[in-house]
Amino acid sequence: MQREIDALAGKQAEYAKARRLRGIDPCSVELGAYRLSGPLAPIVCGVHLKRGYRLAFTTQQPLTPTEANRLRVVILYVGKREPGRRGSDIWELLHELFAVDNPPAGHQKPPCCANDLPDIDQDQLDEFIVNLRRLQRRR
């Protein structure tokens, strides 16, 4: 993922703004986060950046007592939205990394935090990271 983040440098994609807002409140109206449809709906939200980029994130409960009352926001992936390009479209890749099917119908994009926050357990996150590392080695 670092390669994708580095590729944003100088592209005015608003990654820094999204990261800053994400650190304050992942449900910020200004951020415009939306929930993914289909099997990733319970665990992944997305944010539109400029120039076709998207940021995928989730949340976790605090890991230690010193983080009490601080929700952990985990950036899962940053990449370009390129429908029809299975090998490089962020949402296709994200579904592949979670080993679930990308829903064929259009995405509804409800607000990210309308009912509850996206939530990923540690086992899901660990498996995602293993799959992400495999993907990076293939590239």
- Contact status, residue 109 vs residue 32, Cβ threshold 8 Å: no
26: Cα within 13 Å, side-chain hemisphere:
24
For CA atoms 113, 18, 71, 1, give the dihedral sign. positive
DSSP reduced 3-state for 79: strand
Q: Which pLDDT value is given to residue 9? A: 60
How many domains, the chain? Answer: 1
Predicted local confidence at residue 18, as pLDDT: 67
SS3 126: helix
pLDDT digits (tens, 9 = 90+) for 32-73: 889 988 899 999 999 888 888 888 999 887 766 666 667 778
DSSP conformation letters of 12-69: ---HHHHHHHHHH-TT-TTTT-EEPPGGGTTT-EEEE-GGGEEEEEEEE--SSGGGTT
What residues are paired with 72 via a beta bridge? 60
Supply the pTM of this predicted model.
0.81
Express each pLDDT in 67-124 by its tens digit.
666 777 888 988 888 877 767 788 889 999 999 988 876 667 888 887 788 889 889 9
What is the domain extent for residue 47? 2-138
**3-class DSSP state for residue 111?**
strand
